[in-house]
Chain A
Amino acid sequence: GAVVSQHPSRVICKSGTSVKIECRSLDFQATTMFWYRQFPKKSLMLMATSNEGSKATYEQGVEKDKFLINHASLTLSTLTVTSAHPEDSSFYICSAITLAGLETQYFGPGTRLLVL
């Protein structure tokens, strides 16, 4: 199956610092990756759609300057939480779709961010 990895799996940072989260498709090329945020006991909330070589498309209410997304290659997308604050603490999950199956998303294991 299609495997997606995320790094780091867990990060703790001080308020005001920036944190970069990587999402990689390990055994397939992903022209499109998605970034989600999940609060405890809640469903996944789509933050943005990341397309290789172009600007990300952000969902309403998501600050593009706060959550910087870069999709520089067909196997890597990064999410940078800039000037993180405690309210940014959350579980961030990425997913990717293969060229053959646009409707089927394969998810990474998630990154737990804690901002102190």
Chain B
Amino acid sequence: GQQLNQSPQSMFIQEGEDVSMNCTSSSIFNTWLWYKQDPGEGPVLLIALYKAGELTSNGRLTAQFGITRKDSFLNISASIPSDVGIYFCAGHYGGSQGNLIFGKGTKLSVKP
């Protein structure tokens, strides 16, 4: 099925560093969502973005809905070991269907 372009695929960083990942699409989305998935668990919603240009924070996480509505980024500041996991972006076209289009994920590893 259709997928978003999410990058980078993986990141290895030192504890305390900031992290940035992004997703781009050829299509316009009405909503962008960012999820984190730990091994053997289901994805957990981190941030939901509903308007173009919207910048939303959740603790050390900040995400933005791109002005063109075709991209979004997620930043993590001052990373800690528990930030390890796979981060997925997801886009929603709008309407009543509810289907999400997922990125392929960014695997984050944090070295203490």
Report A's interface with B, CB cutoff 8 A: 1, 4, 6, 32, 34, 41-46, 49, 59-60, 91, 93, 95, 97, 101-110, 112
Complex A-B: 18 CB contacts under 8 Å: A4-B42, A6-B42, A32-B98, A42-B104, A43-B88, A43-B103, A44-B88, A46-B99, A46-B100, A49-B97, A91-B40, A103-B31, A103-B48, A103-B92, A105-B100, A106-B45, A107-B43, A110-B42
Closest to A45 in B: B1
Cβ B96 vs Cβ A102 within 8 A: yes
Closest 4 CB pairs of A and B: A107-B42, A103-B92, A103-B31, A110-B42
Cβ B98 vs Cβ A49 within 8 A: yes
Contacts of A6 in B (CB 8 A): 42
Cβ B94 vs Cβ A103 within 8 A: yes
Please give the distance in Å from B96's CB to the nearest CB on chain A.
Answer: 6
Given A43-B104, A45-B1: A102 touches B43 (CB 8 Å cut-off): no
Cβ B100 vs Cβ A107 within 8 A: no
Report B's interface with A, CB cutoff 8 A: 1, 3, 30-31, 33, 35, 40-45, 48, 50, 88, 90, 92, 94-100, 102-105, 107
Cβ A105 vs Cβ B41 within 8 A: no
Please give the distance in Å from A36's CB to the nearest CB on chain B.
Answer: 9
**A101 CA to B45 CA in the complex, in Å?**
13
Contacts of A103 in B (CB 8 A): 30-31, 33, 48, 50, 92, 94, 98, 100
Please give the distance in Å from A65's CB to the nearest CB on chain B.
Answer: 21
Closest to A34 in B: B98
Cβ A97 vs Cβ B98 within 8 A: yes
Given contacts A91-B40, A102-B97, A108-B42, 11 further A-B contacts (CB under 8 A): A1-B45, A44-B43, A46-B1, A46-B99, A97-B98, A101-B48, A103-B33, A103-B94, A105-B45, A107-B43, A110-B41
Query: Quick one: which of B33, B41, B94, B95 has the most chain A CB within 10 A?
Result: B41
**A1 CA to B46 CA in the complex, in Å?**
11
Contacts of A107 in B (CB 8 A): 35, 42-45
Please give the distance in Å from B100's CB to the nearest CB on chain A.
Answer: 6
